[in-house]
Amino acid sequence: MKEKITVIPKPVSVKYTEDVYQSEGLSVISGDKSFAGEIEIANNQLRCALEKFGFKGPLCEPGNIFCLKKGDDEASEAYSIVISKEKITIEAASSKGIYHGLQTLRQLVLSEFNNGVLVLPCAEIQDYPCFSWRGLMLDCSRYFYTVPFIKELIDTLSLHHINRFHWHLTDDQGWRLPVAEYPLLTEIGSLRKDSRMRWKPPQGGFYSEDEIRDVVDYAAKRHIETIPEVDLPGHASAILASYPELGCTGGPYQVEERFGIFEDVLCAGNDRILDLATKIFDALVKLFPSKWVHIGGDEVRYNRWEACPKCQKRLAELGLKKPGELQSWITSLLVKMLSERGRTAIGWDEILEDSDKFKLPKETIVMSWRGETGGVRASALGHQVIMTPNSCGCYLDYKHINTAEEPGQSYEPGASVYKAYSMQPVTPEMKSGSEQLILGGQGNLWAELIYAGKFAQYMIFPRICAIAEAVWTPKENKDFEDFSSRLKAHRSRLDTLGIYQYRGPLK
């Protein structure tokens, strides 16, 4: 009997005892009434997994796997699992905690259930996360991922205790969010020509309100919070193609089929862009219960604002010198609009720049992507921070290894599994005392070069497994060799679930 609990992320503590738990078939999970929702999902997850093993019968009864409530603390994510000879007991003080425990159990079943028999070493697992923000961003603008794909992804993320789904809904290449007062955003802005695929009609689509609610609810039941992103005031080609009067030149514009950074952004001198933001935020607040909304704010080019009389007039009225300060002005208004709606803004690290006159409001959360410096600076200024540095393996659109054959973007520092594993939300450069401002980290999948869902899975797995461990497991428990050996068992779990994965060198 191998004495290894090979789950990912690695639990805080595992103590083995001599015995072995062995059961024919798999017991139905039962337990405390307050965990009924989590238990039902877990029973369904296990039933699906067993079918994939070719095990057709129902889960065996009566149950010897129990979920018990211990204490009462809805904020806690901690859980414990005791595997004895006769039974498996999962305990937690919250539904979040019990769900995490059930996912650890799901991992064990996926790798240790063979020929109709589950064999596990008797052990006591104590577990809780290091960081509260453990996320994945999916770019659904450059590639329009279907709802069934997104749900399967969310379910698999939850297997790794990931608890944030950052949904990138708008960009130059497509607008995916319905906004009732601006119907052309979806009528025009969701479609683009796609010269890569000449045999197909224009590429595009958008999510209906019902589909969005369905995804948000599906994720919430798996204790994953969905955070929408609407990128403003740059990456705005799809908006401008729909409403050309919102740009500095008036167009003509098109939903971009090229990839890159474009000069046409929302006109900072036009008050109607604020009405647009108001209506977008109203739509978001209706659909997304999350207290956070991501406002983008990255890669804004200022050429148009420099040349535009309306933007120059605004600059003079506000007493500003540099066009970049207009972005800080816009950001401060967006943050205020969200705050009036009870929401907290998150933005990419560019929102820290040129903010002398219009200071970035203290409550704004900064997502550090251009390396770690944005996170270091933001935390020194007292902002909460989410780390997703492109230099530390968090950009899942980068090649795993730098060969011509490997799919993804070429990028010098690379994004190997090892690099993703080595990611540290709290860096040595951060001021001591600012650790509590670092909420955690996430991986980002940009989709310029990702043409299909299965391809997305290949880019995400197993790097997100490495990131999950980087943000869950205490630093002193992390060991890449140990992770690599557990990954062998973990790969079979992903295979059983039908998830594609990268299988090349890890470093």
- Known catalytic residues? 171, 235, 299
Q: Which residues of 178-212 are buried (b: 16+ CB within 10 A; e: fewer)?
A: bbeebeebbebbbbbebeeeeeeeebbebbeeebb
Q: Which is nearer to Zn ion, 93 or 266 (CB)?
A: 266
The answer to whether the beta carbons of residues 265 and 311 sit under 8 Å apart is: no
Shortest reach from residue 173's CB to Zn ion, in Å:
22
Shortest reach from residue 345's CB to Zn ion, in Å:
23
Q: Which of 67, 248, 266, 445 binds Zn ion (CB under 5 A)?
A: 248
Alpha-carbon gap, residue 140 to 145, rounded angstroms:
6
Task: Identify which of 86, 85, 31, 27 has the alpha carbon closest to the alpha carbon of residue 57.
Answer: 27
Shortest reach from residue 266's CB to Zn ion, in Å:
8
Q: Which is nearer to Zn ion, 269 or 408 (CB)?
A: 269
414 binds Zn ion (CB under 5 A): no
Within 13 Å and on the Cβ side, how many CA atoms surround 283? 24
Alpha-carbon gap, residue 141 to 173, rounded angstroms:
6
Q: Which positions from 288 to 327 touch Zn ion by CB under 5 A, shown as an x/- string?
A: --------------------x-xx----------------
Residue where the block lists tokens 């990255």: 298
Shortest reach from residue 182's CB to Zn ion, in Å:
19
Phi and psi, residue 377, nearest 5°: -70, -45
- Helices 463-472/453-460 angle, 10° precision: 50
Structure tokens belonging to residue 258:
């090229």
Q: Which is nearer to Zn ion, 150 or 308 (CB)?
A: 308
Alpha-carbon gap, residue 110 to 127, rounded angstroms:
19
Shortest reach from residue 258's CB to Zn ion, in Å:
22
Q: Which is nearer to Zn ion, 93 or 311 (CB)?
A: 311
Alpha-carbon gap, residue 45 to 36, rounded angstroms:
14
Q: Which is nearer to Zn ion, 185 or 246 (CB)?
A: 246
Task: Identify which of 110, 145, 168, 136 has the alpha carbon closest to the alpha carbon of residue 460.
Answer: 136
- Residues numbered 255 to 274 that lie near Zn ion (CB under 5 A) are 267, 269
Q: Which is nearer to Zn ion, 272 or 341 (CB)?
A: 272
Considering only CA atoms, give the Rg of the chain. 24
Q: Which is nearer to Zn ion, 81 or 266 (CB)?
A: 266
Please return the burial class of 72, using the count of CB atoms within 10 Å of its CB with bins 0-12, 13-18 and 19+. exposed
The answer to whether the beta carbons of residues 263 and 248 sit under 8 Å apart is: no
Phi and psi, residue 88, nearest 5°: -120, 125
Shortest reach from residue 49's CB to Zn ion, in Å:
55
State the sign of the Cα–Cα–Cα–Cα dihedral 102, 107, 112, 115. Answer: positive
Cβ contacts of 38 within 8 Å, gap of 6 or more: 67, 95, 98, 99, 102
Alpha-carbon gap, residue 68 to 94, rounded angstroms:
10
Shortest reach from residue 217's CB to Zn ion, in Å:
40
Shortest reach from residue 309's CB to Zn ion, in Å:
8
Chain residues in the site for Zn ion (CB under 5 A): 248, 267, 269, 308, 310-311
